[in-house]
Amino acid sequence: MHISPVLWQFLVKWLNASALFPREASTIAPYADALYFFLLLITVVGLALVGILIFGFSIRYRKEKHPVAIQVEGSTLLEATWTIIPLALFLIVFVWGALLYFRIYNPPTNAMNIYVIGKQWMWKAEHPGGQHEINALHVPTGRPVQLTMISQDVFHSFSIPDFRVKREVIPGRYSTVWFQATTPGTYHIFCTQYCGTNHSAMIGEVTVLSPDDYDKWTQESTSGMSLAQNGERLFASMGCNACHSGSAAARGPNLAGVYGSKLQLTNGSQVLVNDAYLRDAILNPSQHITAGYAPIMPTYQGQISEDGLIDLVEYIKAMQSNYRVQQTLTTSTSNQAAPTTPGVMKP
């Protein structure tokens, strides 16, 4: 929609100042607002046009002026006009909305990924560097941020009105949305899906920092280990390295560099290895049997938390070789085979 930049800024600032409209704090916000105002405009124009016609017809064809009803013949031109114009407007809105949808839900390839877990009644954010936040989210300006979200219990809906971001958070399935913040400040996070007794208390804040301040925050807020490092420890402690060692005799498929590739399954189909596939393959391995391997992997359903699954997924995503897997496996085998020194009993 073409509109004067000065008029647009005046309209947006007036709405913000009057608390009638959220601030525009992301790159997608102006595009979403333009569609919203266009819908508002055609609604108001349509309402005014219908109201004027009803008022005019009620005066022109009132009983005093036409005591006897007369036959009014139809007009093909008139009928075509009131059919074609609304149809054209609906098609414009449809195409505009579809383009905006794909813009919002298809993150750039260079987007920074942050995991968000919804649970009654809080939001937990996990950064790849190991930063963990509760009902808070720190992001930099000028950099696209992708949120990979999942619910630990019931349906939730993650919403940042100032970013024009809203996405359902579903149990058992990852959903994604992205944004690029433009203005430093603090913005509200809401759950917009009724999720239980304390639904209204499931709120948080997004803190948008300059790139330098964000780098400083990440250094000061790290837990000491990244998600991938936590995943490596979990991978070894659960014995995953025994089958997925990458050797020729391994009982499980090689996981090094598998992320982003396509796997051939025993049923003949091909699947893209992404976050959702890795999560589901851990919980439901019998449904994702790689061609050439036996269905011997046990399910870990109910044995690992969503946090642990995120750690494992990040570790597999970052795995480019099997060197550390084999090293960990060798160390574990050596420790089990080493004889223990009997203790000396005192008389």
Choose the CATH number for 112-221 among 2.60.40.420, 3.40.190.10, 3.90.1410.10, 1.10.1060.10.
2.60.40.420
DSSP collapsed to 3 states, 126-192: ECCCCCEEECEEEEECCCCEEEEEEECCCCEEEEEHHHCEEEEEEECECEEEEECECCCEEEEEEEC
Side-chain half-sphere CA neighbours of 27 within 13 A: 13
CA distances from 197 to 109, 194, 297 (A): 39, 9, 39
What is the residue type of 91? L
Distance CA 38, CA 47 (A): 14
Per-residue model confidence (pLDDT) at position 252: 80
pTM (2 d.p.) = 0.78
Distance CA 171, CA 210 (A): 33
Distance CA 311, CA 227 (A): 5
In sequence order, the 6+-apart residues with CB closer than 8 A to the CB of 222 are 129, 130, 131
Distance CA 158, CA 149 (A): 9
Task: Outline which parts of the chain fall under CATH 1.10.287.90.
Answer: 19-105
Per-residue model confidence (pLDDT) at position 148: 92
- Are 174 and 276 in contact by the 8 Å Cβ rule? The answer is yes
| The total number of residues written for the chain in this structure | 347
Per-residue model confidence (pLDDT) at position 346: 34
Q: Specify the CATH number of the domain 227-333.
A: 1.10.760.10
Task: Outline which parts of the chain fall under CATH 2.60.40.420.
Answer: 112-221
Per-residue model confidence (pLDDT) at position 147: 93
CA distances from 40 to 46, 47, 346 (A): 10, 10, 89
Distance CA 320, CA 256 (A): 5
Task: Outline which parts of the chain fall under CATH 1.10.760.10.
Answer: 227-333
Per-residue model confidence (pLDDT) at position 342: 42
Per-residue model confidence (pLDDT) at position 11: 67
Query: In terms of DSSP bridges, do strands 145-151 and 112-119 run parallel, antiparallel, or are they unpaired?
Result: parallel
* Domain 19-105 = CATH 1.10.287.90: yes
Per-residue model confidence (pLDDT) at position 251: 82
What is the residue type of 337? A
Q: What is the pLDDT along the chain (347 residues), one digit of tens a residue?
A: 456 666 666 666 666 665 667 888 899 998 998 899 899 999 999 999 999 999 998 888 787 777 777 777 778 888 888 899 999 999 999 999 999 988 888 888 889 999 999 998 999 999 988 888 999 999 999 899 999 999 988 999 999 999 998 999 999 889 999 999 999 999 999 999 998 899 988 999 999 999 999 989 988 887 778 888 888 888 888 888 778 877 777 788 888 888 888 888 888 888 888 888 888 888 888 888 888 888 888 888 888 888 888 988 888 888 877 656 655 655 544 444 444 444 433 33
Helix ranges restricted to H, the chain: 5-17, 29-60, 76-105, 211-221, 227-237, 275-283, 306-318, 323-337
The tokens 């997925």 sit on which residue?
244
